[in-house]
A and B are shown apart, each in its own frame.
Chain A
Amino acid sequence: MSDLRDLYQEVIFDHNRHPRNFGALANANRHAQGFNRLCGDRLTLHLKVQDGIIQDVRFEGSGCAISTASASLMTEALKGKTEAEANALFEGFHHMVTEGGETSVNLGKLAVLAGVSEFPARVKCATLAWHTMNAALHDHQDPVSTE
């Protein structure tokens, strides 16, 4: 296992303590729920999508530091993106935390979660928000789980 600080970077603690875009979203037109019962991570994602562009996104729920920070960082990254760009980010992020190494997608600030790939037990925490976003964009009704 690599150093714990590769996983728990300051940015992650910051987003865990002060999650961005946290709460309900008026006028949201896409919603989905994510739930990892084994860990107790639970989140609801609200998106406002217009003309194929994610105008706004917020989340609610509770979870570990990794899942909370991941959701918070994701909401920042998604604003203003097209659905196609969001899908590309999802693929890139997923590759980064599961396979490790370089991705062809520019992940920007999301790269602070790269350390997750060294902690296989925590991949499900980091990806919960993203799978929930995927379900929201594709209008899946059942709660998502990454366990």
Chain B
Amino acid sequence: MRDVSAWREQFPILKRKVHGKPLVYLDNAATTQKPQSVLQVERHYYEHLNANIHRGVHALSQEATDAFEGARDKVRQFLNAKHTEEIIFTRGATEAINLVAQSWGRSEVRAGDEILVSEMEHHANIVPWQMLCEATGATLKVIPIDERGGLVPGAVESLMGERTRLVAITQVSNALGTVNPLGDIIRLARAAGALVLVDGAQAVAHMPVDVTALDCDFYVFSGHKLYGPTGIGVLYGKRALLNKMPPWQGGGDMIAEVTFRKTTYNQLPYKFEAGTPHIAGAIGLGAAVDFVRSVGLEKIAEHEDHLLQQATRLAAQMEGMRLVGTMPGKASILSFVLEGVHPHDIGTILDSEGVAIRTGHHCAMPVMDHYCLPATARASFAMYNTTDEVEVLFEALHRVKEMFLI
């Protein structure tokens, strides 16, 4: 048996009850719960270090700056980026993608250029590119998915052309669990002279990521899906690219010198961090990274896969249940529909049993359209979930079927 009970101990919220039943939290693809170490480090920051960073000569400001910059280096190690200044703190993955679309996109993309996304993208990796295309006259092209929820074989090759400037692709689909073949996609993009942005929001908590080995140009993720705080995320970008890109938001901290005649900008990473950042959030993210690394992502991945296999077996035995997203090697996401029951009703009945799942379109409406579904129910597993909880999920699903007489 893995050390799941020891892992669970780290998460205070898992002790609470919901509607008188023990909480079974299976909405981890939406956000993960936070371990004690993350909660403590944020509290410690506000109790002992709170000051603005990069400015003051006083002790608190220096200590806060050290903690903030220390967190940046933890993230660099976590992603295996070469340089600490390649790590830009943002509000989340969404803001990181918008930063690239607005800064790199507005300065580099011309009418007639093409941006490639996939049909399985989260809205956060679709809409910023649509906005860019609208502003520049570029074209958004879509890599289609097949019935299993994988990219249609050969589609990336056929859509990639000399006008392709960027491929924006998710590493793991939040609605389907599909893990995309990034190595192949990045090789094809290199050959076509296109850049690659990887949306790692659903990946970082489930598999080791090495941006240097991947050789992607940009990588984004959100802290709150990695057991860290909300409101903090990361943009990794190759230094040469980031240096060439114009600033996105203007304000304090991102400048070197301001006069009314001319303003010069700060160096990386500060050029892209206008205003007082989410200092406590960044420090909390650093603690989350420490936590995940201390457990080991290989161990986490192995445990989650065990849960997914168990759930997939039970799903196959349940009449009327259909999985949406059936690619081999999926991440720990079980998206499904029950014949004759709307996902919303499933969600309410499961909630009454203490089981938290997500129902709806998962911010991936094109995926729902692909399967001609209004919505799905989605259980997503994290390191602290147990085989017993998977059993509870399926007992609750049996209750749904009983109630709906199916």
Listed in ascending order, the chain A residues whose CB lies under 8 Å from chain B are 1, 4, 7-8, 13, 37-42, 62-66, 119, 121-122, 125
Complex: chain B residue closest to A68, CB-CB: B342
The smallest C-beta distance from A123 to any residue of chain B, in angstroms, reads 12
Cross-chain contact A40 with B345 (CB below 8 angstroms): no
How far does the alpha carbon of A62 sit from the alpha carbon of B345 in the complex, in Å? 13
Cross-chain contact B342 with A64 (CB below 8 angstroms): yes
Cross-chain contact B375 with A40 (CB below 8 angstroms): yes
Cross-chain contact B368 with A119 (CB below 8 angstroms): no
B403 contacts partner chain A, Cβ-Cβ < 8 Å: yes
B352 contacts partner chain A, Cβ-Cβ < 8 Å: yes
The smallest C-beta distance from A66 to any residue of chain B, in angstroms, reads 7
Cross-chain contact A4 with B349 (CB below 8 angstroms): yes
Q: What are 22 of the A-B contact pairs (CB < 8 Å)?
A: A1-B352, A4-B348, A7-B348, A8-B403, A13-B405, A37-B365, A38-B361, A39-B374, A39-B375, A40-B342, A40-B368, A40-B374, A40-B375, A62-B374, A64-B343, A64-B344, A64-B345, A65-B341, A65-B345, A65-B404, A66-B344, A121-B348
Residues on B with C-beta less than 8 A from A62 are 374
Q: Is the interface of A mostly helix, strand, loop or mixed?
A: mixed
Residues on A with C-beta less than 8 A from B345 are 8, 64-66
Given contacts A1-B19, A40-B361, 16 further A-B contacts (CB under 8 A): A4-B349, A4-B403, A7-B348, A8-B345, A13-B404, A13-B405, A37-B361, A38-B360, A39-B374, A39-B375, A40-B344, A40-B360, A40-B368, A40-B375, A62-B374, A64-B342
The smallest C-beta distance from B361 to any residue of chain A, in angstroms, reads 7
Complex: chain B residue closest to A38, CB-CB: B360
Interface residues of B in 13-46 (CB under 8 A from A): 19
How far does the alpha carbon of A27 sit from the alpha carbon of B44 in the complex, in Å? 70
Complex: chain B residue closest to A125, CB-CB: B344
How far does the alpha carbon of A82 sit from the alpha carbon of B342 in the complex, in Å? 33
How far does the alpha carbon of A37 sit from the alpha carbon of B344 in the complex, in Å? 12
How far does the alpha carbon of A46 sit from the alpha carbon of B348 in the complex, in Å? 30
The smallest C-beta distance from B218 to any residue of chain A, in angstroms, reads 29
The smallest C-beta distance from B334 to any residue of chain A, in angstroms, reads 19
How far does the alpha carbon of A66 sit from the alpha carbon of B345 in the complex, in Å? 8
Contact of A65 among B342, B359, B375 (CB under 8 A): B342
How far does the alpha carbon of A122 sit from the alpha carbon of B349 in the complex, in Å? 12
How far does the alpha carbon of A71 sit from the alpha carbon of B325 in the complex, in Å? 32
Closest 8 CB pairs of A and B: A40-B374, A64-B342, A40-B375, A64-B344, A4-B352, A65-B345, A1-B19, A64-B345
Residues on B with C-beta less than 8 A from A13 are 403-405
How far does the alpha carbon of A119 sit from the alpha carbon of B375 in the complex, in Å? 20
Cross-chain contact A122 with B348 (CB below 8 angstroms): yes
Known A1-B19, A40-B374; contact A119-B348, beta-carbon cutoff 8 A: yes
Residues on A with C-beta less than 8 A from B403 are 4, 8, 13
Contact of B374 among A4, A41, A119 (CB under 8 A): A41
How far does the alpha carbon of A10 sit from the alpha carbon of B359 in the complex, in Å? 23
How far does the alpha carbon of A79 sit from the alpha carbon of B373 in the complex, in Å? 32
Residues on A with C-beta less than 8 A from B368 are 40
Residues on A with C-beta less than 8 A from B405 are 13
How far does the alpha carbon of A39 sit from the alpha carbon of B358 in the complex, in Å? 11
Residues on A with C-beta less than 8 A from B375 are 39-40
How far does the alpha carbon of A135 sit from the alpha carbon of B400 in the complex, in Å? 34
Residues on B with C-beta less than 8 A from A122 are 344, 348
How far does the alpha carbon of A83 sit from the alpha carbon of B395 in the complex, in Å? 47
Interface residues of B in 210-236 (CB under 8 A from A): none
Known A8-B403, A63-B342, A66-B345; contact A42-B352, beta-carbon cutoff 8 A: no
Interface residues of B in 252-308 (CB under 8 A from A): none
Residues on B with C-beta less than 8 A from A64 are 342-345
Cross-chain contact B360 with A39 (CB below 8 angstroms): yes
The smallest C-beta distance from A39 to any residue of chain B, in angstroms, reads 5
Residues on A with C-beta less than 8 A from B349 are 4, 8
How far does the alpha carbon of A127 sit from the alpha carbon of B219 in the complex, in Å? 42
Complex: chain A residue closest to B374, CB-CB: A40
Residues on A with C-beta less than 8 A from B343 are 40, 64
Residues on B with C-beta less than 8 A from A42 are 374
Residues on B with C-beta less than 8 A from A1 are 19, 351-352
How far does the alpha carbon of A125 sit from the alpha carbon of B405 in the complex, in Å? 21
